[in-house]
A = this chain, B = another copy of it.
Amino acid sequence: MNQSGQKSEAILDAALPVFVRHGFRKTSMADIARAARMSRAALYLSFSSKEELFRAGSARAHARAMRKVEAALAGDGDVFSRIETAIAAFQRELVAPFAGSGDAAELFETNMALARDVTLAARAELVALLAQALTNAQATGAITLDALRATPADVAAIIVAAMEGIKDAQVAGHDLLEDTRLFLRLLRKALSR
């Protein structure tokens, strides 16, 4: 990685806990500069605006999350446990860090406003990866979708949609891990032959 890239990484590392602590709106560039131990002007050498800085942070988090998801789906175990691990990784990277924030809702909202494309792309890739895993499992006879009259892509989309809903409910007080595990038990039962 080049020097400016390293600097950008350091800035994002410093900015994340500040955003988590105060939310996007209440976080000023001065706050981020202080956390990154550099001048406010230096931030603008790496990012052209507070919004672009946030976008870069979101993009990096999504890229990291997708690498973890790919690793999980390529791992050991049956298709359900691989999916469970993948989803856990996705949530650990993109939901859990903000869950205790108090401004979690504002941060997710800001993310959809400023980094909608990145977010939707990652979500689409997650659907595609899950669909591929389900297709493989179907080919080996590990699962059956016949009774559901659904394609692997349909099921993958439902899984991701449910994760989104569970994330939102968690902001409203529900327990993320518990709700996720319940949904995956439900999935296992529905797809077992």
Contacts and interface: CB of A to CB of B under 8 A. Distances in A.
Interface string A93-122: 000000000100000000000000000000
A76 to B, nearest CB: 40
Copies of this subunit: 2
A21 interface: yes
A22 interface: yes
A107 to B, nearest CB: 15
A21 B26 CA distance: 12
Contacts of A102: 21
Contacts of A22: 22, 26
4 contacts: A21-B102, A22-B22, A22-B26, A26-B26
Interface in A16-46: 21-22, 26
